[in-house]
Chain A
Amino acid sequence: SQKIEQNSEALNIQEGKTATLTCNYTNYSPAYLQWYRQDPGRGPVFLLLIRENEKEKRKERLKVTFDTTLKQSLFHITASQPADSATYLCAPFFAYYGNNRLAFGKGNQVVVIP
Chain B
Amino acid sequence: DGGITQSPKYLFRKEGQNVTLSCEQNLNHDAMYWYRQDPGQGLRLIYYSQIVNDFQKGDIAEGYSVSREKKESFPLTVTSAQKNPTAFYLCASSIILRDTQYFGPGTRLTVL
Instruction: Decide if A100 touches B98 in the complex (CB within 8 Å).
Output: yes
Tally of chain A residues near chain B (CB < 8 A)? 18
Q: Chain B contacts of A43 at CB under 8 A?
A: 90, 92, 103-106
Within 8 A of A (CB), among B5-47: 33, 41-43, 45
Is the CB of A28 closer than 8 A to any CB of chain B? no
Consensus secondary structure, chain B interface: strand
Instruction: Decide if B100 touches A46 in the complex (CB within 8 Å).
Output: yes
Q: Chain B contacts of A42 at CB under 8 A?
A: 105-106
Within 8 A of A (CB), among B40-74: 41-43, 45, 48, 50
The contact of B42 among A46, A93, A102, A107, by CB within 8 Å, is A107
CA distance A93 to B103 in the complex (A): 17
Instruction: Decide if A34 touches B100 in the complex (CB within 8 Å).
Output: yes
The contact of A49 among B33, B97, B100, B108, by CB within 8 Å, is B100
Q: What is the total of A-B residue contacts with beta carbons within 8 Å?
A: 41
**A52 shortest CB reach to chain B, Å:** 14
Most buried by B among A43, A49, A104, A105: A43
Within 8 A of B (CB), among A7-48: 34, 41-46
The contact of A102 among B98, B105, B106, by CB within 8 Å, is B98
CB contact under 8 A between A101 and B48, given known A34-B100, A43-B103, A45-B103: yes
Q: Assuming A42-B105, A46-B101, A100-B97, what are 13 further A-B pairs, CB within 8 angstroms?
A: A41-B106, A42-B106, A43-B103, A43-B106, A44-B90, A44-B103, A45-B103, A93-B98, A102-B101, A104-B42, A105-B42, A106-B42, A107-B42
Sample (12) of A-B pairs whose CB atoms are under 8 Å apart: A42-B105, A42-B106, A44-B43, A44-B101, A46-B100, A101-B33, A101-B48, A101-B97, A104-B42, A104-B43, A105-B42, A107-B42
